[in-house]
Amino acid sequence: MKKDFLCLSDWSRDELEAIFALTLDLKARQKRGEEHHLLRGKTLGMIFEKSSTRTRVSFEVGMYQLGGHALFLHSGTTQLGRGEPIRDTARVMSRYVDGIMIRTFSQAGVEELARWSDIPVINGLTDSYHPCQVMADLFTVVEHKGNYRDQVYGWIGDGNNMANSWINAAAVFGFELRVATPKGYAPDPAVVERARKAGAKVLYTHDPREAAAGATVLNTDVWASMGQEAEQQAREKAFAGFQIDGKVVAAADPACIVLHCLPAHRGEEISDEVIEGPHSVVFDEAENRLHVQKAIMATLMA
């Protein structure tokens, strides 16, 4: 029976830790220059309705390194962009390719695509969740801190798809998470309620210093995500004081690491001194999108 990668809460901790173990192996094999063609002859269809740098490059390069092939499909140049029902696209692509990665707006659309597909579907980002990114983030934490379990995570910024995914991760993995957002920019209430029922150790606050105090991992994202450009000025005003800067880092654990999924708006959600400073592991994190997604594809498609 096929399995999809749509949301972290769909997977168990043991299953996700198995992906981390495979990521570690694949990254080591690549660094040693060893062939690891686990998807030889396989093809991934990549559907993009949102612009991308890291998602497209990491999935496309990842398929190549696994011995397979990736097809870039922009919605504006496919029949999806002309109104073809998702269920029709899903059934046709299931007969052409071995897996689908989609980067789009609607989580419901991704779930419909998966429901009608006979092949695995991977969520490359929606307005609700970004599970591949959080997996890469946690793998980076393991590399730099030794494990993800004993850490205190501080999320400072918008209650967006990344915040939702971190809350899901806290529920699945069982670590302590503090989420600081301005009033009116809280995470999805349904995500919060599901995490609460699962016993997640999550603190919600409107005070960035409270989220950062003693944290071993600090994380943030842009204040205005794709599709929210018209809100930029209003958000800049609402998010004043929610920047990860030197003062916020000083409130955290002295050995803390700083994450950002990129692209970064330096001087807004994160200062230039922090993203370029000794606590930043942002570019290790970006690299690990490649390695984690290879493990996800191999798990689903091999």
Annotated binding residues for carbamoyl phosphate, written as ranges, equal: 52-55, 79, 103, 130-133, 261-262, 289
The structure tokens listed for 179 are 């989420």
The answer to whether residues 227 and 166 touch, using CB atoms and an 8 Å cutoff, is no
Of 107, 137, 261, 291, which residue is the catalytic one? 261
Q: What are the backbone dihedrals phi and psi of residue 72, each rounded to the nearest 5 degrees, phi first? A: -85, 125
7 is an active site residue: no
Of 260, 279, 289, 291, which residue is the catalytic one? 289
β-pair partners for 125: 103
221 is an active site residue: yes
The answer to whether residues 247 and 194 touch, using CB atoms and an 8 Å cutoff, is no
95 is an active site residue: no
233 is an active site residue: no
Of 65, 107, 133, 151, which residue is the catalytic one? 133
Measured over the CA atoms of residue 235, residue 236, residue 242 and residue 245, the dihedral's sign is positive
Of 7, 130, 235, 243, which residue is the catalytic one? 130
The answer to whether residues 78 and 47 touch, using CB atoms and an 8 Å cutoff, is yes
Binding-site residue numbers for L-ornithine are: 161, 221, 225-226
Of 7, 65, 103, 279, which residue is the catalytic one? 103
User: In this structure, what is the dihedral angle of CA atoms 27, 170, 124, 184, given to the nearest 10 degrees?
Assistant: -140
Of 4, 98, 127, 221, which residue is the catalytic one? 221
Exposure b/e, 156-175, CB count within 10 A at least 16 = b: bbbbbbbbbbbbbbbbbbeb
Is 227 in a helix, a strand, or coil? Answer: coil
107 is an active site residue: no
- Residues known to be catalytic: 103, 130, 133, 221, 261, 289
